[in-house]
Structure 1
């Protein structure tokens, strides 16, 4: 028995109903991330989503929509209680959308990450942990933050970390803020869970100057404990 871990991007621009033709630039990569979720979700009991949320909110199994970004796209497990979209963190909404696309209709939950914490050691197997985390937002002139070579280097290092393992590249909070690496807390959580292990598979791309990444791990409970010991 094992715990499946998947890192997914958290960008609304990846949703076709929100961005129109722009989503086509990432359609193949999003399909690959959905395939990772589908593979990781086989045989699990429940998905647990973690993502950066300054309010540190926790939500249970609810349904909602992406209307805050301009389109009434429903997300959430069929039959789950309806929640106002304002109550649901951004990271949870995008994770819900991806889980829906993967056909994972199990009860799900979200726990927000507020700082440089670490995931607790998992106490049971058959959990799908989905970490919503983007790379720096300063990779090209199309980016939300002015292009910054530190962001470009960091995103390349994150790509390498997913593929090869080792210590998580982390320039610290000040540089992270400067280069638009706002989901740094979620990456630190991910590192706390998977340790120095390379992903089973990964994909990285940046069509809009923001680093998007998808990756999958399969961990035993002893792996999770060892990862915690490395931190």
Structure 2
């Protein structure tokens, strides 16, 4: 009877089932991460462009092409088209990632927000962390935070712009006739403390913007709290393709034309 039994072919190795389960779980995990993420399309495209340039990866198949784009493309004289939303921001996004990681290591991710702006990477600290209401005197508990930000700034070569902001509620005291004086005085107080940590003043600048640059709704308490802040902006270095460079290139191109 045993000789009549058909021989059953051996299937896939047992480890394949475990491997398939693991891949399914990883796929589910990343899908959940993506669903919870606040996706910024411009930043996503910027990062993809940076990766593509660094590794020579082609994300689209050769047969795929885009027939229409709303993104303006600039062409330098004698050069090739460049996408302004990708090239200028790729280094800035890399800097923002490094700043976020350093803040996490220093335990400051709960009190310092990091944002990518058109000027560079901004670290936002609410005024309640640094000052009492209507004051430009730094709280004692704010000094360790500022010291860590100073240590962080020494790791980067960008100029540090310190900017004071307020909400839209007016102030009128003998020391601060308006929010302009208050915001500027707070930025100055921060700069003077950073100088004591060893930062050179020529690497820093200050500005007070009063209530003119809100980031939230001033009609709510939380919105006003977000608007009362000090920003530390690691400014983006000048682009090689600046207005002056383009003008010089255009002049050279005209000079090369036969008279």
TM-score (norm 1): 0.31
Specify which structure has the higher proportion of helix. Answer: 2
Specify which structure has the higher proportion of strand. Answer: 1
Decide which structure has the larger Cα Rg and report it.
2
